[in-house]
Amino acid sequence: MKTRTGGFEIGFRRGWSEWQKNLDGLLSWAKENDLGVVDVGGDADLLAPQIVQAGLRVGSADLKSWRALLSPDPAKRKEAVAENGPYIAACAKHGVHNFFAVMLPEEPELPRSENFGFMVDGLKDLAPILEKHDSFLVIEGWPGPGALACTPEGYGALFEAVPSNSMAVNFDPSHLIRMGIDPIRFLHDFAPRVKHVHGKDTELLDENLYRYGHEQPPTFGQPRGFGNMSWRYTIPGHGCFRWTHGFDLLQEAGYKGAVCIELEDENFNTGEAGEKQGLLAGARFLESA
């Protein structure tokens, strides 16, 4: 499957449920349904040969030791870089060039400016390794505890402080939407840095926003799965992102990568049948976008 706009390959991120742990079965199901790209975790050096042999490719592989790269301890940062060097080299031999991470500090209680400095030091040491293997650190903007590169401010400051082309964006509009950041404007600013895309969307729950706001927890209301009181993650097409417009901007910027569905949707994370239905429904929507 490919998107109508841009012709980007469609795939998915390998999940945590039991049926997805069987890699042979997962790859067979993907091939049967014309999904040619799989995102995997930090064991891509071991899994990539099997994925490639099955006729698919790896869209992104999790970097090892994310938080240690942002450690206040210089020795820990160097150890993290040393651990990732052979891993990146091994993955690159099998065509894996996108390495996924979230910039979560090891000690989020420290001042953000201090953690930003630790992040810069760690990534400056990692960048030459990525450059050597024509690879990229694709940073996702999940706004987890103390996350440093998830807003335009954070991404912009990082790219200025570490001016290597190996520093890149894993574009996931769902996180921007939940934070109130316009994902289309984000692409206008950062599309040339995008090296991987997650197919995930966010539905804004306007009635809940009115009833509960976003500053106080509810007294009686129950939060939605994969979300909060006023928003929830969805498959592509069930949220509010303008995918065709986004693909237009990515195409104009020369994007050549894939769009991989990260399935986090309470309507479909209900077991094997529901997850397969959600992945295929999201893929079919992206194919028409």
Banded model confidence at residue 26, pLDDT cuts 50, 70, 90: very high
Residues with Cβ < 8 Å from 267, sequence gap 6 or more? 234, 235, 238, 274, 278
Over the stretch 213-245, which tens digit does the pLDDT of each residue have?
Answer: 988 989 999 888 999 999 999 999 999 999 999
Cα–Cα distance for residue pair 167/180, rounded to 1 Å: 24
Among 60, 145, 142, 159, which Cα is nearest to 102's? 142
Q: What does DSSP assign to residue 223?
A: P
Question: Residue 118 — φ and ψ, nearest 5°?
Answer: -65, -40
The structural domains of the chain, with segments of one domain joined by +, span: 10-288
CA angle 135, 41, 266 (to 5 degrees): 125
Domain 10-288 has CATH 3.20.20.150: yes
Which of 132-136, 210-214, 251-255, 259-263 is the least confident region?
210-214
Over the stretch 124-143, which tens digit does the pLDDT of each residue have?
Answer: 999 999 999 999 999 999 99
For the entire predicted model, the pTM comes to 0.96
Distances (CA, A) of 37 to 44, 140, 223, 284: 13, 18, 32, 15
Among 239, 257, 262, which Cα is nearest to 247's? 257
Task: Report yes or no: 86 and 65 within 8 Å, Cβ to Cβ.
Answer: no
Radius of gyration of the chain (CA): 19
Per-residue confidence (pLDDT) for residue 223, from 0 to 100: 83
Residues with Cβ < 8 Å from 2, sequence gap 6 or more? 8, 9, 10, 287
Run of H or E including 51: helix 44-53
